[in-house]
Chain A
């Protein structure tokens, strides 16, 4: 295969992976921005999205009865709704009682919630890998020279980018978005300016998990195979992406996610498959060594 086509192939692999990491990373970064809390259970909400999608599309058979576009559209709406609800409940049960406590207490609570959710998924849906059914979407592949581009891959990428664009507009162009940004900068000051911080917190705990759940559904549809501990690895990678992009920064999460996906694909394609994750982490650590608050976060003086 000519070098350029090989490169294009890796590029497309990287962008698809990266767009999914970016979607999940957004959930981490939004919650962090407002709450200064790393929501370690976010990966599990992502997995929950995948399993709810499985239940709707495969167990209830929406995929067969409604036809792919309608079924997937409907399940996206329901998955996003249900995972948001789960996110809200998580905030209510595991984080709100700890809001005025030490930050690390909330981290451990989040880790506990993550262990709980992962095992709840295992008990509910079983420990086996679950299949989405291979023929949910028509198997169309575009060929450009030796370079292959399956339609599903394009759709996943487009969906992820569209959602991120919408979120960007929401955060930067609406009043609610303004409230989110204000609360992220300084909760106390935002309160004084009349921002209902409580509402903002609930809002980010709805939007973040919704994006994670959507990513879970996309992974299910795209790869066709899900398992109960899938949230762990995706969560860790997306969290890394969020940090490297500059945690709390929404554009940073998108950039971080795409960068991570590309690094992985290119590392795998040109250097080594088995060293890929080590290389990726090494590059990310180096980025942080030279830009200690991530790629896009402004360098602020340390708070005194």
Chain B
């Protein structure tokens, strides 16, 4: 027993004596995305877009001559996996991270990046409180929910609706947006005749729809995601319930038309950052073309493109301030003013929120195209 103990000590001593080796490496940027799990389709597109852009950066000589390397970590769309993914990225030596999609998932990773001094640029996490925490190196390329609620409510008012049924899906994002919108409605003379959630795991929303029908609204405001709104549109048609629906940015996904069918989808409206087809920037068009030729498809939502934007501003910051998180942060908050990203001009305020009007109103046309209003 004693000899065993001694050999253990010896082993420990040997291991402690081994020096850790570090070579000069290309600069690393992490991508934290839900590659598996419920939001896998968003996550996989996020990774694809960033990979394409990184290849382009490297093809044109890298960042100040240093190549950039992408380190992908799957957050599985759950907070627990995200904490590990963040830890993995931090320890693999990334200086900045792109991602992630879900707000609660981002939340679980924020502290880890903050403590490690790594920049995080979230891409789909619109929950308001993410930026109010005083985390200096946290940014996001997506707008905040209160911004969206304002645009949503303004459009409801502008279109002349007065009796509103407000429906969310009891997820962190959709409920937050619904509550924000509800507050604005209260102060603007719009009557709320129905307020409830649906269960996003369900496929059958006819029960909720019959209840909404009984409340007789002018318009349904739905703050959830595209798969559910597709089903709602179809089932609303089947019930002969003729009422317009207006939705939030999580329904901005071309799969909506396919899933609901052109007939049921036509007339559906939503507010969102510009859809892919309306991103007129040269860089966006190039990206679409490369994506199409490489993956034989289009990125299905705007969130993957916002991940691309996050990557691009990080590259810009690195070019200007060098691969140092502190200097990059400083630069992003003060000197990034006139940068043309994929989704339009990008700038950040002192909290790390994106500045500028990004929301637009869209309507689905009769032949199934998202038309900018």
- A–B direct touch, CB within 8 Å, in complex? yes
Hey, which chain B residues are within 8 Å of A139, CB to CB?
237-238, 263
Is the CB–CB distance between B196 and A219 below 8 Å? no
Hey, which chain B residues are within 8 Å of A13, CB to CB?
204, 206-207
The stretch from B15-23, B176-184, B209-217, B268-276 touching chain A is B209-217
Within B188-223, the residues touching A (CB, 8 Å) are 196-199, 201, 203-204, 206-208, 210-211, 213-214
When the two chains form the complex, which single residue of A126, A134, A148, A268 contacts B260, counting CB atoms closer than 8 Å? A134
The stretch from A82-90, A163-171, A208-216, A272-280 touching chain B is A272-280
- The residue in chain B whose Cβ has the minimal distance to the Cβ of A136 is B261
- The residue in chain B whose Cβ has the minimal distance to the Cβ of A223 is B203
Given A1-B213, A127-B41, A148-B239, verify A134-B263 contact (CB < 8 Å). Answer: yes
B162 at the interface (CB under 8 A from A): no
Hey, which chain B residues are within 8 Å of A129, CB to CB?
41, 226-227, 230, 255, 259
Is the CB–CB distance between A9 and B197 below 8 Å? no
When the two chains form the complex, which single residue of B208, B226, B227, B234 contacts A273, counting CB atoms closer than 8 Å? B208
The stretch from A35-43, A95-103, A224-232, A282-290 touching chain B is A224-232
1/0 per residue, CB under 8 A from B, across A122-165: the answer is 10001111010111000101010000101011000000000000
A116 at the interface (CB under 8 A from B): no
A60 at the interface (CB under 8 A from B): no
- The residue in chain A whose Cβ has the minimal distance to the Cβ of B227 is A129
When the two chains form the complex, which single residue of B40, B206, B207, B213 contacts A122, counting CB atoms closer than 8 Å? B40
Is the CB–CB distance between B196 and A141 below 8 Å? no
- The residue in chain A whose Cβ has the minimal distance to the Cβ of B40 is A127
- The residue in chain A whose Cβ has the minimal distance to the Cβ of B230 is A225
- The residue in chain A whose Cβ has the minimal distance to the Cβ of B226 is A129
B170 at the interface (CB under 8 A from A): yes
Hey, which chain A residues are within 8 Å of B40, CB to CB?
122, 127, 228
Is the CB–CB distance between A223 and B210 below 8 Å? no
Hey, which chain A residues are within 8 Å of B38, CB to CB?
229
Is the CB–CB distance between A143 and B208 below 8 Å? no
1/0 per residue, CB under 8 A from B, across A107-124: the answer is 000000000000100100
Question: Once the chains are docked, how many angstroms separate the CA of A127 from the CA of B211?
Answer: 32
A10 at the interface (CB under 8 A from B): yes
A192 at the interface (CB under 8 A from B): no
Is the CB–CB distance between A274 and B207 below 8 Å? no
When the two chains form the complex, which single residue of A148, A219, A224, A268 contacts B240, counting CB atoms closer than 8 Å? A148
- 6 closest residue pairs by CB, A with B: A134-B261, A127-B40, A127-B41, A128-B41, A131-B258, A131-B259
With A129-B227, A148-B239, A230-B203 known, 10 other A-B pairs at CB within 8 A are A13-B207, A127-B40, A129-B230, A131-B258, A133-B261, A134-B264, A224-B261, A225-B227, A225-B259, A273-B198
Interface residues of B (CB under 8 A from A): 36, 38, 40-41, 43-44, 170, 196-199, 201, 203-204, 206-208, 210-211, 213-214, 226-227, 230-231, 234, 237-240, 255, 258-264, 300
A-B contact pairs, 28 of them (CB 8 A): A6-B210, A6-B214, A9-B206, A9-B207, A9-B210, A13-B206, A13-B207, A119-B36, A122-B40, A128-B41, A129-B226, A129-B227, A129-B255, A131-B230, A131-B255, A134-B260, A134-B264, A139-B263, A141-B238, A148-B240, A152-B238, A219-B203, A224-B230, A227-B227, A230-B203, A269-B211, A273-B207, A273-B208
